Amino acid sequence: MTLKVVEFKREPKSGDGVVVGLRRLLEQAERGEIVNFFGVALLQDDAIVSGWANEYRPFAMVGGIENAKREMMDICIKRRWE
């Protein structure tokens, strides 16, 4: 069996999409629509930061985190083979 090593493409470092997404989340939080939050961010120096607020329905949050992780992995793997 031969394995092929494929590198992920590095996208330009731009915060435009990040800012739009964070503003949308902030607006929802200000309207009281978000009752719990968990976030992970990759900084320009490749450091990872994470944080959360509230502890409402923690197991629902863990399930949501696992779902988001799987979706991200599927997208990255799909792009890798394109």
How confident is the prediction along the chain (82 residues), in pLDDT tens digits per residue?
Answer: 666 665 666 665 667 788 899 999 999 999 999 999 999 998 888 899 999 999 899 999 999 999 999 998 888 877 766 6
Question: What pLDDT was estimated at residue 30?
Answer: 96
Identify the domain containing residue 41 by its residue range: 20-80
3 φ, ψ to 5°?
-100, 145
When divided into structural domains, the chain yields a total of: 1
Question: What pLDDT was estimated at residue 55?
Answer: 87
47 φ, ψ to 5°?
-75, 150
Question: What pLDDT was estimated at residue 80?
Answer: 67
Question: What pLDDT was estimated at residue 16?
Answer: 75
Residue 7 lies in a domain: no
Residue 53 lies in a domain: yes
Residue 15 lies in a domain: no
Residue 54 lies in a domain: yes
| Structure token pair of residue 53 | 């607020």
Long-range contacts of 2-9 (CB under 8 A, 24+ apart): 6/80, 6/81, 8/76, 8/79, 8/80, 9/79
Task: Name, in order, each residue with C-beta under 8 angstroms of 6's C-beta and a sequence gap of 6 or more.
Answer: 80, 81
